[in-house]
Structure 1
C-alpha cells in the first residue's frame, strides 16, 4: 500500500509540473525589458532624448581623441603657407617604407603611377587627363600633406581615407619617388 501511495504521489507531482508548460507561451518573465528591448529608429525623435537628436551630438569645440586639428585653410595662401613652413612630425626611422608603398599604391598610384610619373592606370585608360609627374612639380612634404588633406584640382581629399600619420607617411614616400625620377 505504501508503494502505491508513493507511485501516485510521483505521478501526481509530475503531472502538476508538466501541465502548466505551454511551448506557445513561455512562463512568466521577470524584467521583460531585458528580453524584449525597446527598439529605436536611428536618428528619430523620441521622448527619451530631451532635445531630440541634438542631444546625441558631441559638444561644440570637442575633438576626437588622438586627433590634432589641421589649422591651415584650404586656400591658395594656405597651400603656399603649408609648402613653405609645414614639416613632418615623424622621424625617418619611424616610417615603415613597406606601409608607405602600400598606401601610395592603394590611394595614389592609380592616377599618379607607381613611379610617380603621372602615368597611372586611370591616366593610361584616359579616364583622367593632366595628372602631373612629380618631376615637373615643386613640391615639399608640407604641400603634399596639404594636397592629400584637402585635394587640388581634379584630385579629391583623402583625409577620410588616410589618418594624419598615414598622410605624412605618403608625403615622405612621394618625395622619395620624386628623388628617383
Structure 2
C-alpha cells in the first residue's frame, strides 16, 4: 500500500472519530474561552446574602451619603423652581475661550439639531419637519414660561437643560453639571446675536 494512502486513511479515520465524539453530549457548548468574561464577578443584588444581618445583598446607603461625582440639584421641576434657579444660580465656570469652545461643541451635538447652529430655532430636525415651534435664542422669540429667550438668565437655561421643557427632553443624563454650564455659556453667547 502506498505511504500517502495510509496517511490519508489515518487522517480521515481520526477526523471521523473526532466528529463522532463531538456529537456525544448534545448539551455541551464545547470549549469555553475566557469564562470570566461572561460570569459576573460582582454579587447578584437580587439574591440573598448571608454576610449581612438582613440577608439581602442590596443594602440601603447610610444616611447623608452621596455617590462619587454626584452633584445635588436643589431646584424642583416646577415653575417656582425654574424662577428660583433664574434668580439664584450663577455660572461657576470662568468665561474663557476653552470653556466657550467646549460649550459650543456640546451645544452642536445636543442642542444644534433642534435649535440650530446659530441658535435661530432652525436646526436639522426642524428643517425636515420632525419638530416645530423650537424657539430662537435671539430676536423677539418668547419663552413658553414668559419673557424673551434672549433675556433668559444662566440659571433658567441650566434648569431647562437639567429638566427639559415642552418637546425638549432632559439632558441631565448626557451632560455633566460642568458640561451643562459650558453649554449655558455658549447659549448666552448666541443670545447676543
Aligned with 1:80: secondary structure?
Answer: helix
Structure-2-length-normalised TM-score: 0.66
Note if contact 2:49-2:57 (Cα within 8 Å) is conserved in structure 1. no
Shift of 1:101: 1.2
1:5 aligned partner: none
Partner of 1:105: 108
2:164 to 125, 131, 151: 151
Q: For structure 2, which runs of at least 5 residues remain unmatched after alignment?
A: 1-38, 142-148
In the TM superposition, residue 41 of structure 1 has moved relative to its aligned partner by: 7.1
* Aligned with residue 79 of structure 1, among 60, 75, 82: 82
Matched ranges for 1:1-150 at <5 A: 42-50=44-52, 51-55=55-59, 57-93=60-96, 95-135=98-138, 136=141, 137=149, 138-150=151-163
2:47 and 2:61 map into 1 onto residues whose CA distance is: 17
**In structure 1, distance between residues paired with 2:186 and 2:50:** 50
Aligned to 1:22: none
The higher radius of gyration belongs to 1
Number of equivalences: 143
